Amino acid sequence: MTTPPVPDVAVPTSKRQGALRRLLRKPLGLVSLTVLVLLVLIAILGPLYGHNPNFSTLKDINVGPGSPGHALGADQFGRDILARLLASLNVSLISGAIGAGVSTILGTVFGLIAGYTGKRTDAVTSWVFSLVMTFPALVLVLVLYPITGGSYQVMMVIFGVFLSPGTFRLVRNLVIVVRNELYVDAARVAGLSTFRILSRHVLYVIRGPLIISVAFLASTAIGVQAGLAFLGLGSTLVPSFGAMTSDAFANIYTAPVQLVWPSLTLALLTGSIVLLGNALRDVLMDVGGVAKAVKTKGRGHTSERDTATPHIEDDAPHGGLLALRNLRVSYTQPDGSERLVVRDVSLDVKIGEVVGLVGESGSGKTQTAFSVLGLLPREAHVEADLLSVGGDAISLSDPAAMRGIRGGVVAYIPQEPMSNLDPSFTIGSQLVEGLSAGMSKREAKATILALLARVGIGDPVRTFKSYPHQISGGMAQRVLIAGAVAGRPKLLIADEPTTALDVTIQAEILDLLRDLQSELGMGVLLVTHNFGVVADLCDRVIVMQAGEIVETGDVRSVFTSPKHSYTRELVGAILDENTVRSDPPPRAAGALTSEGTK
Amino acid sequence: MTSLLSVTDLRLSYPSRGFRAKRPEVLRSVSIDIAPGETLGLVGESGSGKTTLGRAILGLAKPTGGTIVFNDQDITHLSPRERRAIARDVQVVFQDPFTSLNPVLQIGDILSEPIIAQGTSRSDAQKSVGDLLDQVNLPANAAARYPREFSGGQRQRIAIARALALRPKLIVCDEPVSALDLTTQARVLDLLIDIQRQTGVAYLFITHDLSVVRHISHNVAVMFKGELVETGTAAQITEAPEHDYTKSLLLSAPIADPDRQRERREQRRAMKSFVTA
């Protein structure tokens, strides 16, 4: 259900935008990037201002902003504030670059190596980085201050080293996930060198989180450098925001405005870096939002309903088990338009009848089945002229009513048996839970054990006590079938119940379903793409294509004389069990015969 | 014997968890032969070791015994450098077309990459991308797009094009059509057969689906629990199987004819069940 139906050969034409352009589209990204670029430009062009930031004149002590020669005034030593501000900006940017650079390079290089190589290399490297992580970075930078010789650059290198475990862990964990992807295997088979695989495939895929982490590391480094300077560590000849705030702080009663300039610039700088990081994360990790789904809800549907004309005349007074008329399911697209995935689907299931709902991926067959169960995600807009189960009309928009029919009148068997069992509870407790409403615990347990034996589980007591990971996929599907029929449902909805299973197990599960169906007289709605399964189990077939029913009919007539062209195409695509490839291998035709007789 | 690939008594067991625990053997003395231009269908259920055999041939899994000889060269244990040289001749198409293509690379880059890695210049490699796309019936403008813009069938075509890029002698196809819709599946199979007729490439075609195997294979090998239980021509295996497991496998696959399926069901039920799920 995740892939949109795209014709197989035609290539869709959609607009693609680079990450940078998408970043500039976002107000947050545009503003923060502009501010940051401006600050960097100012820092680079700073020396052109021509004032020595450390030159002090007694006559200019504490002159206010706008004084001749001092646009922002001068501090208590008579030094030009603007010149100091420009120099500080320079220092801050270099600090950020060094801190973030050192930690990113160290963390990324070792993270890539550890994550990709695994085993012993990973264990040793991870251990070393965990050790570094246990050191309190700030305290160590203070302790190591004497060996830096007062240079803020060296301090930032040390700080970068202590920040690197964060990047290392991020990169390593991302790489471990990517390493197991098939495209990395394919690259290895294609003969790419390890370096090329790492730089091109792995690093490129994980660049998003990495860029964001760089932004946050840079702002941390800038903050720490300013903080250290504020405490008076570092050369007094190097102007920095920390030193400037410290000076201004001492001077706060005389000239409070001096505190504004360094704080404001520092705030602008770190703020723009962090917000740019946020915007980048949004851009690079954008999944295409459902944000607008709520807005359009409840409007526009009435008009749709008026125009929709029912396909099938409502002749029978819903004597059947399930009756569905003109079901429509739509989703709101990121651009605000509605995409209809199920259009005007009407179907019936009679008591004791097995109906197959067939179609390819994206045909809307699962969406239809899930609407009857009320299990579609919140973003789906579901409506129908009529849904009646066991003769009672039910409103699709009433969650309580939908909940009432699930597990009682209607039961469900999923496609992936394993993911439908909670790994942290025993199978017994999960099955008993569904029954506990009407009977005592002991009764429920006895019922479940009997059911487990009925669905062909050899040792019911052991399975009852097992956790899901202790049983096989085929067994898990048996367990789920036991759970589904425990409430003696009238209608069983099975969504590709055997697709995830091996053929021999599939055959047994189909046998079980057929036996249970005739035993309990259930109606079954079987969603599948496998025509063999349909032929094995179903009385009637409904064929869906692109959200619409194209053909319904008795199982034999659909197979032998399909009416709709799409059904013919589907039936024609079934690989005939009588055709065996007969042409000899293109080369070496002679070699084959000698091998065939071997 | 002019076999292209010859696997003899291959054994493979994964490292055990815990000290002195039993090492589970995934492959137990498996031997197969593939002639140039031939398709060998490898059938088996999950856990039978068929994918592991493919990965061992590709150098993605390390065998613990036996030999793999390709083109008269022992490739059982190759250094990474030697392995890269073999890449020219042995390629792969994986099952899942959604994870086998790097989502952040354009199709053109995905296809030219193996060619560039073998020492061809970037511009020459890019020229051959158009031919490759043409070979798998995709329009040339696909090169500037990303994998997410394509459907499952189209992505599998791209994966096939990537495997063809180096004009290999053998392609290991690991369930290449089982994630695809029925109509798409038929088209991709026909494409694979066409390519084989044109280029004379040999396939090791791994699948669990007997109808697919019948369609594409010259010879078939059946695996069960890490062992080869039966080998023969496609007609032999699918029409007159000898081993009980092969028989039960054949009868288990439901066919799209209600009446004949009923007959088969009864036949199968008469037979002793081979697996206990």
Would the pLDDT of A356 be above 60? Answer: yes
A contacts of B86 (beta carbons < 8 Å):
191
Tell me, yes or no, if B271 comes closer than 8 A to chain A by beta carbon: no
Measuring CA to CA, which residue among B104, B162, B167, B171 is closest to residue B138?
B162
Tokens of A334: 């990121």
CB A300 within 8 A of CB A307: no
Rounded alpha-carbon distances, angstroms, from residue A514 to A117, A406, A538, A540, B100: 50, 21, 9, 14, 38
Work out the pLDDT band at A252, boundaries 50, 70, 90: confident
- Comparing CA positions, the residue from A505, A486, A485, A503 lying closest to residue A494 is A485
3-state secondary structure of A116: helix
Encoding tokens for residue A418?
């394993």
Question: Per-residue pLDDT tens for A176-229?
Answer: 988 888 888 888 888 888 888 888 888 888 888 888 889 989 999 999 888 888
The interface predicted TM-score of the complex, written ipTM, equals: 0.83
Q: Which domains does chain A have, with CATH numbers?
A: 19-48+76-284 (1.10.3720.10)
Nearest Cα residue in chain B from A506:
B252
What digits encode the pLDDT tens for the residues A39-74? Answer: 999 888 888 877 788 887 878 787 877 777 787 888
Nearest-by-CA chain B residue for A575: B211
User: Closest partner residue to A504 among B211, B234, B275, by Cβ?
Assistant: B275
Tell if the CB–CB gap between B1 and A594 is shorter than 8 Å: yes
DSSP secondary structure string, B130-169? HHHHHHTT--GGGGGS-GGGS-HHHHHHHHHHHHHTT--S
B137 interfacial to chain A (CB closer than 8 Å):
yes
Average pLDDT over residues B124-135: 86
Residue A300: pLDDT band with limits 50, 70, 90: very low
Q: Give A-chain residues touching B249 at CB under 8 angstroms.
A: 503-504
Check B2 against A588: CB less than 8 A apart.
yes
Residue A390 Cα distances to A230, A351, A408, A576, angstroms: 77, 9, 11, 39
Nearest to A183 among B58, B99, B218 (CB): B99
- pLDDT over 70 at A316, yes or no: no
Task: Write the pLDDT tens digit of every residue in A564-582.
Answer: 888 888 888 877 666 777 7
Put simply, the answer to whether B219 touches A505 (Cβ < 8 Å) is: no
Rounded to a whole number of angstroms, the distance from the CA of B53 to the nearest CA of chain A is 15
| pLDDT band at B201; cut points 50, 70, 90 | very high
Distance of CA A467 to the CA centre of its chain: 27
What mean pLDDT do residues B165-181 have? 87
Q: Chain A neighbours among B 142-181 (CB < 8 Å)?
A: 142, 145-146, 149-154, 159, 162, 165-166, 181
pLDDT score of A107 more than 90: yes
Residue range A278-302: average pLDDT? Answer: 50
DSSP result, A142-202: HHTHHHHTT-HHHHHHHHHHHHHHHHHHHHHHHHHHHHTSHHHHHHHHTT--HHHIIIIII
The mean-pLDDT minimum among A31-35, A450-454, A576-580, B25-29 falls in: A576-580
pLDDT of A308 above 70:
no
Across the interface, of B145, B217, B274, the residue whose CB is closest to A581 is B217
Q: Which of residues 539-578 of A touch B (CB under 8 A)?
A: 555-556, 559, 569-571, 573-577
Whole-angstrom Cα distance, residue A92 to residue A223? 8
Q: Tell me which residues of chain A, numbers 21 to 60, contact chain B at a CB-CB cutoff of 8 Å.
A: none
DSSP letter, residue B14: P
Asked if B268 has any chain A CB less than 8 Å from its own CB, the reply is yes
Instruction: Answer whether residue B118 shows pLDDT above 90.
Output: no
Rounded Cα distance between A545 and A564, Å, is 11
Question: Which of A450-454's residues contact partners 24+ apart within 8 Å by CB, and which partners?
Answer: A451/A482, A451/A485, A451/A486, A452/A478, A452/A479, A452/A482, A454/A482, A454/A516
Per-residue pLDDT of A10-30, as tens digits, reads 444 444 456 778 888 888 889
Across the A:B interface, residue pairs with CB atoms under 8 Å apart total: 259
- Whether A5 shows a pLDDT value over 60: the answer reads no
Secondary structure (3-state) at A343:
strand
Residue B5: which of A595, A303, A261 has the closest Cα? Answer: A595
Backbone angles phi, psi at B64, to 5 degrees: -100, -5
Mean pLDDT of A521-546: 89
Give the dihedral of Cα atoms A475, A480, A485, A491; nearest 10 deg. Answer: -120
A315 three-state secondary structure: coil
Whether A571 and B183 have beta carbons less than 8 Å apart is answered as no
Q: How confident is the model at residue A587 (pLDDT cuts 50, 70, 90)?
A: low
- Is A409 or A303 the better-scoring residue by pLDDT? A409
**What pLDDT score was predicted for residue A11?**
41
Closest among B98, B26, B126 to A186, alpha carbons compared? B98
Tell me the DSSP string of A65-109: TTBTTBTT-B-TT-BBHHHHHHHHHHHHHHHHHHHHHHHHHHHHH
State residue B42's pLDDT score. Answer: 92
| pLDDT for A593 beyond 50 | no
Element (H, E) at B56: helix B50-58
Closest chain B residue by Cα to residue A16 = B145
Terminus-to-terminus CA distance in chain A, angstroms?
47
pLDDT band at residue A164 under the 50/70/90 scheme: very high
Q: Where are the beta strands (DSSP E) in chain B?
A: 5-13, 25-34, 39-43, 65-70, 73-74, 90-93, 170-174, 202-207, 219-224, 227-233
Q: Which residues of B touch A579 (CB under 8 A)?
A: 214-215
| pTM for the model | 0.75
Task: Quickly state the pLDDT bin for A438 (edges 50, 70, 90).
Answer: low
Both tokens of A48, joined, read 């052109």
pLDDT band for A136, please (50, 70, 90 cuts): confident
- Distance between A34 CA and the closest CA of chain B, angstroms: 27
Rounded Cα–Cα distance for residues A471 and A466 (Å): 7
How confident is residue A473, by pLDDT bands cut at 50, 70 and 90? confident
What mean pLDDT value characterizes chain A? 80
Q: Which of A182, A504, A576 sits opposite B94 (nearest CB)?
A: A182
pLDDT for the residue A578: 67
Query: Is A510 close to B149, i.e. CB distance below 8 A?
Result: no
Per-residue confidence (pLDDT) for residue A582, from 0 to 100: 74
> Which residues of chain A have a CB within 8 Å of the CB of B179?
none
B256 pLDDT band, cuts 50/70/90, is confident
DSSP 8-state class, residue A56: B
Residue A419 in contact with residue A496, Cβ under 8 Å? no
Residue B118, SS3 per DSSP = coil
Asked if A319 contacts A351 with a C-beta cutoff of 8 angstroms, the reply is no
pLDDT at A577: 66
Contact list, A361 vs chain B (CB under 8 Å): 152, 181
Suggest the residue from B102, B222, B262, B265 to mutate for an interface test with chain A (most A CBs closer than 10 A): B102
Yes or no, beta carbons of A9 and B137 under 8 Å apart = yes
Does the pLDDT value for residue A89 go beyond 50? yes
Residue A409: what pLDDT? 84
Q: Do the beta carbons of residue B83 and residue B92 sit within 8 Å?
A: no
Position A443 scores a pLDDT of: 82
> With an 8 Å Cβ cutoff, are B214 and A535 in contact?
no
Q: Do B45 and A502 count as a contact with CB atoms less than 8 A apart? A: yes
Q: Which two tokens stand for residue A273?
A: 């870096």
CA-CA distance, A357 to A342, in Å (whole number)? 13
Q: What is the pLDDT of residues B238-248, one digit of tens each?
A: 888 888 888 88
